[in-house]
Structures are given as C-alpha cells and as structure tokens.
Amino acid sequence: MKKSCEKINCFERGFKEVLIRDKKNKEYKVLCQHHFEQYTKNQDLNCNWDSCKQLGEFKAPTKGEGDYLWFCEDHIKEYNKKWDFFEGMSQAQIEDFVFKDIIGHRKTQKFGSMDTFFHELWNNAIEDELLNLSKFKNTLNQENQKYTDKQIAALKKMDLKPNITWLAIKEQFKKLVKKYHPDMNAGDKKYEEKLKEITIAYSYLKTSLSDKQKVA
C-alpha cells in the first residue's frame, strides 16, 4: 500500500484501511501499522445486531443523548423500520424536542415564546407559498372554507388538504417528524431543512387556528 497514514501529523506508510466511526456512514481511512493497531485494539467494529459479524458501517440513533448504534446495511434497514424516537412522548414533548433541535438551544427571548417564534418564522416565509395556492384551493368548497390563505399554505407544506381535522394535523406532524428527522436519514441536511419547514408550518397552524377551527 503506497498511501501514507491519514492520522493527523503521522507520515508513516499506510498499513491497512480501517472503518472510522465518527459522523459519516461508511467512512474509511488508511492508517499505519501503529495507529491501526492502536485504533482497533479496544474497539468492536462489527454490526451491533445480535450475532452479526458484518462491519457496522451505518450510524443509527438511540434515545440516549449522544449515543449511537452501528449496523451493517441490512440491519440498519431493519432497525429504522421498527425504531420510533418519539414513542411514549406527548405531543408537547415532541414539539419541544423539534423546536430545540431547530434553534440549536440558542436563546429566543425576543420572540417571547416558542409559539411566537414559529409564528414569526412562518409569516416571514409565507409570501412565496401564497403564490402557489391557486391549484390547491380549487379542491375547496369555497362557501365552507374555514382556513385563511396562510393556513392553507401551511397545510400544503404538510401534504394535507384543507378539509382536514386538527387531530389529523397533529398525527401527520408526528409522522412527518419521524420520516424527516436527520437521525433517521444519516444526518442528511436536506431532510433537516424539510423538517424545519414542516415544524414551522405545523406550529403556525397550532397558534393561528381558533378553538372553533380546531373543533370544526
């Protein structure tokens, strides 16, 4: 092997390629013999699925903060099918978790509250959405329309039609959070952005819908 060791500040000849468990899936680096032996000495790089001897190349979330499991390609698929981070959490706990994820635990006192924070975000982002509503609104019975244009835009962002109930909106939010959470998608940023859009839309609906709209 001609490649040099990829350990920082090491210039020895590369000895062997090894799986590196950090932030990426399937990340490998070439290490010299010393660093290879040092790295693998106390690590089990096998898949965390019981009795599987394949390398665990794919990172999977757990409910412990900062804790992860590593699976082979086959078992990461099985794990993701069955795993639900939000199992046992109330709607308020789910919303609070996603809110903290989005703001990165930064202070938002100038908005006054979490609800106001999302309300302001949606109002700032809504202009482009309103331009795309005409086709969506054609499905409505205009005489019985109970949502404003901004609320309809928020429903559209959540892949919902305007005749939906508030209970169904909450159920859809939970499903979408699980589907698009970055931990379920190998940390892919595009899913993080999608989750932010959905959360902003949902939170706007939560704060803007009147009691009458919620029970209608």
Q: Is residue 7 part of a domain?
A: no
Would you state the structure tokens that stand for residue 210, as one six-digit string? 């009147």
Q: Is residue 11 part of a domain?
A: no
Are residues 113 and 78 part of one domain?
no
207: Cβ contacts below 8 Å, ≥ 6 apart: 115, 116, 118, 119
pLDDT (tens, 9 = 90+) of the chain, 216 residues, equals 668 999 999 999 999 999 998 878 889 999 999 999 999 988 889 999 999 999 999 888 776 656 788 999 999 888 877 766 666 777 677 667 666 665 554 443 343 455 555 555 555 555 455 545 555 555 554 444 678 888 888 898 899 988 888 889 888 888 888 788 766 666 666 777 788 788 888 888 888 888 777 766
What does the DSSP 8-state code read for residue 85? T
Q: Report the pLDDT value the prediction gives residue 123, as an integer from 0 to 100.
A: 56
Q: Report the pLDDT value the prediction gives residue 86, as an integer from 0 to 100.
A: 65
pTM higher than the cut 0.75: no
Are residues 207 and 131 part of one domain?
yes
- Which of these three, 59, 82, 105, is where a domain ends? 82
The full length of the chain comes to 216
The H or E element that residue 169 is part of is helix 166-180
Q: Is residue 114 part of a domain?
A: yes
Q: Is residue 10 part of a domain?
A: no
Residue type, 44: D
Please give the angle made by the CA atoms of 150, 151 and 157, to the nearest 5 degrees: 90
Q: Is residue 1 part of a domain?
A: no
Q: Report the pLDDT value the prediction gives residue 84, as an integer from 0 to 100.
A: 64
Q: Report the pLDDT value the prediction gives residue 12, as an integer from 0 to 100.
A: 93
Are residues 106 and 61 part of one domain?
no
134: phi then psi, degrees, rounded to nearest 5: -55, -45
Helical pair 189-208 and 114-130, crossing angle rounded to 10 deg: 100
- Which of these three, 33, 60, 82, is where a domain ends? 82
Residue 35 lies in domain: 16-82
What does the DSSP 8-state code read for residue 64? S
Q: Is residue 169 part of a domain?
A: yes
Domain total in the chain: 2
Residue 134 in contact with residue 156, Cβ under 8 Å? Answer: no
Are residues 78 and 96 part of one domain?
no
Query: In angstroms, rounded to a whole number, what is the distance separating the alpha carbons of residues 121 and 191?
Result: 18
Q: Report the pLDDT value the prediction gives residue 36, as an integer from 0 to 100.
A: 94
16: Cβ contacts below 8 Å, ≥ 6 apart: 1, 30, 31, 33, 36
Are residues 75 and 55 part of one domain?
yes
Q: Report the pLDDT value the prediction gives residue 202, as an integer from 0 to 100.
A: 85
